[in-house]
Amino acid sequence: MAETRPSVVELRIPSKPEFVGVARLAILGVASRMPFSYDEVEDIRLAVGEACNTAVERAVKANKTDTDIVIRSEILGGKLTVKVRDEIDVLPVIPEATTSPTDLDEQGLGALLMELLVDEFKVEPQPEGGTLVTMVKYAG
């Protein structure tokens, strides 16, 4: 019988640059438990790191570094869904596909990397405030 309930790993970190590495270590552990290749695990680590980066950078700009970022990983079969939720209302900037990478700032480069590294990528404002970045990667 196929699994219907995902295994969930959730982590809360402060919106500060020195904690982004903690989130990357955690997702490395989660992704390593799934049948991903070494390169795919690295892609997931970078994509989640970028999602946290954009949360931290927007928190700094909004002067809200006392807020938290919640990283929720859901494993269901060969599907890994990572949801990165922050408390910042301003959405990350998603660059146009035609923009030259040298014309992008850090945030634009981060969004570009997320789009390239995972199979599904979505950014949406939350009804209760804040922003949710959802990324999906399929193993195999």
Partner 1 sequence: MNLKMNTRSIGNEASIIDLEGEVDVYTAPQLKQQIITLLDGGVKRVVINLSSVEYLDSTALGVLIGGLKRLRERDGTLDLICPNPRIRRIFEITGLDKIFDIYSTEADAAKKAGSKEVT
**Contact set with partner 1 (CB under 8 A):** 17-18, 20-21, 24, 39, 42, 45-46, 49-50, 52-53, 56-57, 100-102, 104-107, 109-110, 112-113, 116-117
96 — phi, psi (to 5°)?
-65, 145
CB of 88 to partner 1, least distance (A): 15
Rounded CA-CA distance 56/76 in Å is 28
Contact in structure between 133 and 118 (CB atoms under 8 Å):
no
Rounded CA-CA distance 62/97 in Å is 27
CB of 10 to partner 1, least distance (A): 21
Rounded CA-CA distance 62/38 in Å is 36
CB of 138 to partner 1, least distance (A): 18
CB of 131 to partner 1, least distance (A): 17
Of 57 and 87, the one with the shorter C-beta distance to partner 1 is 57
Of 21 and 125, the one with the shorter C-beta distance to partner 1 is 21
- Can you spell out the DSSP letters for 40-105? HHHHHHHHHHHHHHHHHHHHHHTT-TTSEEEEEEEEETTEEEEEEEES--SPPP---TTS-GGG--
Of 4 and 102, the one with the shorter C-beta distance to partner 1 is 102
Of 8 and 22, the one with the shorter C-beta distance to partner 1 is 22
CB of 32 to partner 1, least distance (A): 15
Of 49 and 75, the one with the shorter C-beta distance to partner 1 is 49
- Tokens coding 98: 């035609």
